[in-house]
Amino acid sequence: MITPRTYSRTFARTVQAGAVLAASVTLAACTGSPGGPGKAASGEEEAPSAATTTTADSGPPALTPAAYREALDAAGRPARSTLAAIAKARTFKSLRQRIGRAESALGSAQERLGGLRPPADVAAEHADYVAALRGLNGRLGALEEDVSSRVLCNGTAVLAGLGRSGEFKDLRSAAGDLAKAGDYPVVRITPPARRTRRLGNGTILLSAIRGGRGSLTVKNGGTQDGVVTLVRGGRKAVSFYVRKRSTAKVANIKDGTYRVYFTTGVDYDRGARAFTRNCGFSKFDDAVKFQTVYSGYSVRWSDWTLTLDAVFGGNATTSDVDPDAFPA
């Protein structure tokens, strides 16, 4: 038996930006003579010469509005596309890869934009926008850690978490101010809302191998909903939903030996066939065998009862399963 696990982890990440300062340089020019410094050629004292001061340019020249728009679009386009691609991840491996690409794109955008000089009338908005990109990148890194600990379990959950963050609100505000100042292209995303979807207890999600007399009863005394899947010979046979603190029964299971897998979590996405948050993936170590025996005028068949949470006196052990290898 297994006790459902709820993962909770807090991550703090500080991203320190470097500041680029252009220093003013003062040059003092002196004239010498054969008689030595400060002496006239005739040996008379030379009148002190006036110092000449020049000031170095304080940075790159300010861009024109048209050039600034081009620079914003070139820096922001990869960030927009990689952020949107997070929602399309179908495995944990690809999800982590897509988050990594988005982090790289955001880092590149803030670096490129931080090194240019915007038109003077949007200097403040530009600085706020670059700082907001930096903050969003840091938040995305923290969410990647939540994926590793399975607090977040798919791309829509990651984007929903991003949308609920203060860093996203800062970006939305800064990007809006900059865009309004001159119709400038900025990084905008529309994250999905956080949801908590549940199916009815006992809902059949898959019925591929049926037609027997056997039955399977599953008791879920835990704090999270679950989905139980029976696999026979490498093929998914039956899959059904069991709500927390509920019992569900599936009948007409065909004779054979089955491996039993189950996943638990919050917010079941039926299209993705997975929970989006606080997900766990396990299997019972021992297979269950359904068998029908005919003897004279009698018939005997197998009825199994499994419990997903740990109970006193239970005798079935479970093991964790790689989520990318789970038979969803």
pLDDT in 10s for each residue of the chain, 328 residues: 333 333 333 333 333 333 332 333 333 333 344 444 444 444 444 444 433 334 445 567 899 999 999 999 999 999 999 999 999 999 999 999 999 999 999 999 999 999 999 999 999 999 999 999 999 999 999 999 999 999 999 999 999 999 999 999 999 999 999 999 989 999 999 999 999 999 999 999 999 988 899 999 999 999 999 999 999 998 999 999 999 999 999 999 999 999 999 999 999 999 999 999 999 999 999 999 999 999 988 999 999 999 998 765 667 899 999 999 999 7
How do strand 256-269 and strand 246-253 relate by DSSP bridges?
Answer: unpaired
Is this structure's pTM higher than 0.85?
no
Within this chain, do residues 107 and 156 fall inside the same structural domain, yes or no? yes
Q: Does some domain include residue 14?
A: no
CA distance 45 to 135: 63
Does residue 308 form part of some domain? Answer: yes
Residue 176 and residue 284 in one domain: no
- Single residue among 115, 147, 182 that ends a domain in this structure: 182
pLDDT, position 32: 40
Dist CA 79 CA 132 (whole Å): 13
Strands 210-220 and 303-307: parallel
Residue 223 and residue 164 share a domain: no
DSSP codes joined into one string, 225-278 = EEEEEEEETTEEEEEEEE-TTEEEEEEEEPSEEEEEEEEEEEEEETTTTEEEEE
Same domain, 113 and 216: no
Mind giving me the DSSP string for 32-50? Answer: --TT-TTB-TTSSBPPPPP
In a domain, residue 189? The reply is no
In a domain, 27, yes or no: no
The answer on 122 and 78 residing in a single domain is: yes
Residue 165 tokens read as: 């963050």
Decide if 48 is inside a domain.
no
Which residue is associated with the tokens 């803030």? 110
Q: Are residues 228 and 124 in the same domain?
A: no
Query: Are residues 254 and 316 part of one domain?
Result: yes
Please tell me whether residues 172 and 70 are part of one structural domain.
Answer: yes
Domain with 233 in it: 204-325
In angstroms, the first-to-last Cα distance of the chain is 20
> How many domains does the chain fold into?
2
pLDDT reported for residue 60: 73
> Does residue 91 sit in the same domain as residue 165?
yes
Instruction: Supply the CATH number for residue 299's domain.
Output: 2.60.40
Same-domain pairing of 134 and 233: no
Residue 43 domain-assigned (yes or no) = no
Residue 129 lies in a domain: yes
**Same domain as 246, residue 153:** no
Question: What is the pLDDT at residue 328?
Answer: 79
Based on the fold, state whether residues 85 and 142 are members of the same structural domain: yes
Whether residue 229 is contained in a domain is answered as yes
Angle between helices 123-148 and 92-114 (to 10 degrees): 160
